[in-house]
Chain A
Amino acid sequence: MMEDHFIELIDVTKIYSQGESPVVALDHVHAKISKGEYLAVTGKSGCGKSTLINIIGGLDSPDQGRVMIDGEDISLMNDRRLTLYRRDRVGIIFQFFNLLPILNLEENIALPYLLREGSNPPADKIENLLHEMGLHARRYHYPHELSGGEMQRVAICRALINDPEIILADEPTGNLDSASGKQVLEILRRLRDGHGKTVILVTHSQEGAAMADRVVRMSDGKLL
């Protein structure tokens, strides 16, 4: 009997061209991730971890292979459907936070909801997230007024505002001090434990990997 996997990568290859020479970022990758699983991906810089996240997150498309999400191949989706997928089913957390400097904390969090509904999210939704992340007092502050840890927590809130099933975190602690990094990792764990999210964490840190249900290593575009 075939096991039912929420996320499945089948023979996924991604090649970037760097000048004249091609760089294989993902080399015939096969992976299976269950719903509600917390997976940590580790490996050296340039091994293809971020490309893996980008492809699962619908930010990039593979050159070869299939990316099945809940039975649907997102590599066949057009831009519109990929956008819908990103907006409604995925929350992405980046190493460099990627907050919009023109928006304040609350507005940054509300942005995905605003894009989907055309209006701001219900006040209690924002309130709950702000309380949960300990950001309530900073709600009207702008990104440049926040610390790295706070910015990353804002990015997590933004990733959660549309209540996605999948949380992708690309080196979320890479730009934070150890205390803030630990806080972020705990939040991610809570997301899996408390909210049942499927979390894929790309990390260098042993601490981050230790919190995951399963750890996979990547090297030269391959999953080991």
Chain B
Amino acid sequence: MVLLHLLRNITLRHLRYHKGRTLLSMVGIALGVAVFVSVQIAIHTAIESFNASVDHVSGKANLQVTSFGRGFPEEVYLRVKKVPGVKAATPVIQYVSKMDEPIGEPLYLLGIDVFSDRPFREYQFYENDDEGLLFLKTPHSIAITEKLANRHGLKRGDRISLIVGSKKVTLTITNLLKMEGPAKSLEGNFGLIDIASAQEALEKVGLIDRIDLIVDKSRPIEATERELKKVIPPGVEVRRSDTRSGQIEKMVSAFHLNLTALSFISLIVGMFLIYNAISVSVIQRRREIGILRSIGLTRPQVLTLFIGEAAWIGCLGSLIGIGVGIGLAKVMLYLVSRTITALYILVKAEHLVISPYILVAGFGMGVLASVLSSIGPAREASKIAPKEALALGTLETKIKIRLGYFNLIGVGLLILSLILALQRPIDHQPIFGFLAALLILIGVSFLIPSVTTFLNRLLAPLLHRLFGSEGKLASRYLHDSMARTAITIAALMTALSMLISISIMILSFRKTVDLWVEQSINGDVFIFPGSYSITGYSALLPLEVSRQLPSLPGVKAVDSFRALEVEYQGQPAIIASVDGQVFLNMKVIRFTRGNSQAILRQFAAGQAILVTESFSLRHNVKAGDRITLNTPEGEKEFLIAGVFYDYSSDWGMVLLEKKLFQTLWKDETIHSAGIYLQEGFSIESFKEMIRERYSKPYRLFVVSHRELRREVLKIFDQTFAITYALEFIAIVVAILGIINSLNALIIERQRDIGIVRAVGAFQRQIQKTTLIEAGMIGFFSHILGLLCGFLLSVLLIYVINKQSFGWTIQFSIPLWSLIESWLIVMITSVGAGFIPARRAAKMNVVESLRME
């Protein structure tokens, strides 16, 4: 009761009275919570949207017969529907096409059998007739959603052009769907067609992608599964419908974890702000604490009082943060969806899915962060002796730092982080790596007083020479208020070190990918299906084109590429096929070890396969091992000839020689072709020739090596845009920290400033001193940020990134970025010093001297 009374009558009044400081701390926590909440909502929405699409399209099916690759013969359907326990079955073809320009949006095409589909999915049309779905039997007919039609001014009877793989297909809109059931897939970018039309459009006549089943629930589902397995060919699987949902979580788990870790930076930086705010509160209320203690308040009560103050700031800040986070989530969703689509799978989400758990977690984390960061200053407050606080002339409130003790803890934590960094991942997640990163941040923070003292001592003569008495005073002040300055430097250093480490990681990664594109994807001209950017591996080049390419004039060799998205040991993976001779003779493939020519000769001869580094790490296999793959010819064992560096996917890829693949999968289609031209043959003339030959029936994407490289790097940069956005917010929070901290120092030094003014310092001299100090905080933060950022970048590149994605990145230092960041830090630090400097200069001398 006493505490509640004190909280209400004292703490809240202080918070109201010191609005600026309270607001600044709240903003710090609010931004931290906002970033966390927005990132979580965005990822959750993207995942939920994908899962909802899967569920809508699966309808009432409880089992599915499916395969990876081009599909399986439709005869399987006839056998499956006769299996005991199967109450209903229907064949399905699904495909994400691209609506032709100028629309250019993805369209989820569901090809159904109009006769057997009815028990599975319910469609609601704007104009119903008695014949049910039979209108789809009209040649070139499609039903699209009214939402899509309205958005693009389409109506019944209009024609719509789709790029299906590489083919341009024109269909007539015969009906409009309401946004119900499967129509909700891809936010209404959904088209329903007859299965026969789909087979024709996709050049898959006689093949189907899936059979949906409703099975008798009175029988054990396992028994039905066993019966089904007896009638399906090798390479085809029976799976429960609910297992498809949850797959995306597996696909994006590494991305999710990394982004979540990144979203914590702002919150960590915000914690320093709270620490400072409570520290200032303790300093200002020292006398008040003395009085309260002298009239009977206990030490634990003082502790609780200040923790309560932080909790209050945390509560309000978190609530504001949740509001801002929800607002920010829309932008974040755009960035997250774009990255997931570029790296993993097409995601289209418009409406935020706000989980109460995320909001509660955000709130809880904000409050917890505030409370944790207030414990130090609250303990300091509780230790104040009444006599000491009440005595006149005891302005010496500076916390003494025991440098040796701090250094010992700092070095100890860095050693511990090294030990953690050497640990293996847990369930493919670099949990120890993230812990090591946290320990590096804390460890270097403990070293701040020593490093800053050393640098300050080193720079003091220079500062004096450059800035005269103000430089000297600033240097002395910085040294004297090390306990507080160290916290500000820690906040800015944390934000900067993350910026620096991520910049180093991104630049290193970019350079590695650039080199990889240069060496491994080194054809002269590349041909992709027109819908490749949206549909990824489900888009294929027309057989007519892929068959003719090797014999076209000017072609020296064709580097063909075919990939299947599969599951290997419960994890998403890619089985791909390439031309072994092209790999052997035309490319520079870098292997983790072994003689590359010998490995490639073995591969080209079809005697062994290759795996990517990420596959090797994910599944713990190496050159010389054998792995078993599920092929249409049944399970086959393959020898791994070598592990090669590849940055196209973090799922892990198994590479088979083209002939071997075609023998097993009976599939000669390809996704893309890299063309090596004969000496002297012009790239432009070849591109022109392809356009002339194929532009009428097909939509192909033909680019030179330079254009492809540019495109790859553009996607790369887009992928990391979100990282920079989160970093930017962390820097903003850190800048608030400088303002907060300098304000704290000014309050703490009020009397000193009064004295200096009394003995003859101009306002501008006080202002200049504070600005120099702000600049020094920025400078030291950057030096420490460089040190910490370098350590973190090594951890990011060699541990976290490697364990998350399985990629080896060549270390590079982005010198220009570092110079840029230094300039930004110096300008913003000095800029942040302006408000406190003005405040210091404007202080009333008499009041300052009378303050005790």
Contacts and interface: CB of A to CB of B under 8 A. Distances in A.
B762 interface: yes
B759 A60 contact: no
A49 interface: no
Interface string A156-186: 0010001000000000000100000000000
Contact of B765 (A86, A94, A100, A115): A115
Contact of A83 (B754, B761, B846): B761
Interface in B751-793: 751-752, 754-763, 765
A105 to B, nearest CB: 14
Contacts of B220: none
Contacts of A158: 759
Contact of B846 (A60, A88, A99, A116): A60
A140 B845 CA distance: 27
B846 A115 contact: no
Interface stretch (B468-476, B684-692, B725-733): B468-476
Given A79-B763, A116-B760, A98 B755 contact: yes
Interface centre among B477, B751, B760, B761 (most CB of A within 10 A): B760
Nearest to B395: A101
A57 B846 CA distance: 11
Contacts of A103: 476
B477 A102 contact: yes
B779 to A, nearest CB: 20
Given A101-B396, A102-B476, A115-B469, A94 B849 contact: yes
A185 to B, nearest CB: 21
A114 B468 CA distance: 8
Contacts of B751: 98
Contacts of A116: 760
B393 interface: yes
Interface in A47-62: 54, 57, 59-60
A137 to B, nearest CB: 23
B479 interface: yes
A158 B852 CA distance: 22
B393 A100 contact: no
Nearest to B467: A118
A96 interface: yes
Given A111-B759, A115-B469, A115-B756, A102 B480 contact: yes
Contacts of A141: none
B838 to A, nearest CB: 13
A112 interface: yes
Interface of B is mostly: helix
B399 to A, nearest CB: 14
B461 to A, nearest CB: 12
Contacts of A112: 759-760
A87 interface: yes
A55 to B, nearest CB: 10
B458 interface: no
B223 interface: no
A86 B846 contact: no
Nearest to A79: B763
Contact of A115 (B392, B396, B759, B845): B759
Contacts of B476: 102-103
A144 interface: yes
Contact of B760 (A88, A100, A118): A88
B393 A96 contact: yes
Contacts of B468: 114, 118-119
Contacts of B758: 57, 59, 86, 92, 98
Nearest to B762: A83
A80 interface: yes
Interface centre among A84, A98, A158, A162 (most CB of B within 10 A): A98
B763 A100 contact: no
Contacts of B763: 79-80, 83
Nearest to A162: B760
B760 A144 contact: no
Contacts of A101: 395-396, 480, 752
Interface string A111-144: 1101110110000000000000000000000001
Interface string A7-30: 000000000000000000000000
A92 B846 contact: no
B555 to A, nearest CB: 77
A86 B759 CA distance: 6
A118 B468 CA distance: 5
A139 B392 CA distance: 25
Interface centre among B396, B756, B845 (most CB of A within 10 A): B845
B752 A102 contact: yes
A108 to B, nearest CB: 9
A114 B472 contact: yes
Contacts of A86: 758-760
Given A83-B760, A92-B758, A102 B472 contact: no
Contacts of B480: 101-102
A162 to B, nearest CB: 7
Contacts of B479: 102
Nearest to A158: B759
Contact of B755 (A100, A144, A175): A100
Contacts of B852: 96
B752 A115 contact: no
A80 B480 CA distance: 28
B761 to A, nearest CB: 5
A111 B473 CA distance: 9
Interface string A69-91: 00000000001100110111000
B362 to A, nearest CB: 42
B761 A115 contact: yes
A103 B845 CA distance: 20
Nearest to B759: A112
B392 A96 contact: yes
Contacts of A84: 760
B842 to A, nearest CB: 9
Contacts of A102: 476-477, 479-480, 752
Nearest to B392: A96
Contacts of A114: 468-469, 472
Interface in B347-404: 392-393, 395-396
A88 B468 CA distance: 18
A94 B469 CA distance: 23
Nearest to B479: A102
A87 B756 contact: no
Contact of B469 (A54, A118, A175): A118
A115 B849 CA distance: 19
A111 B756 contact: yes
Nearest to A97: B393
A222 B434 CA distance: 72
A103 B849 CA distance: 17
Contacts of A144: 396
Nearest to B757: A83
Nearest to B469: A114
Nearest to B481: A102
A58 to B, nearest CB: 9
Contacts of A162: 760
B762 A80 contact: yes
Nearest to B393: A96
A92 B845 CA distance: 13
A57 B393 CA distance: 22
A62 to B, nearest CB: 12
Nearest to A87: B760
A140 B756 CA distance: 20
Contacts of A83: 757, 760-763
Counting from the closest, the 10 A-B pairs by CB-CB distance are A87-B760, A118-B468, A102-B480, A114-B469, A112-B759, A98-B755, A60-B846, A83-B762, A112-B760, A115-B761
15 contacts: A59-B845, A79-B763, A80-B763, A83-B762, A86-B759, A86-B760, A88-B760, A94-B849, A96-B393, A100-B755, A100-B756, A102-B476, A103-B476, A114-B468, A158-B759
Given A92-B759, A96-B393, A119-B469, 11 more contacts: A54-B846, A59-B758, A79-B762, A84-B760, A86-B758, A92-B758, A98-B754, A100-B756, A101-B395, A101-B396, A115-B762
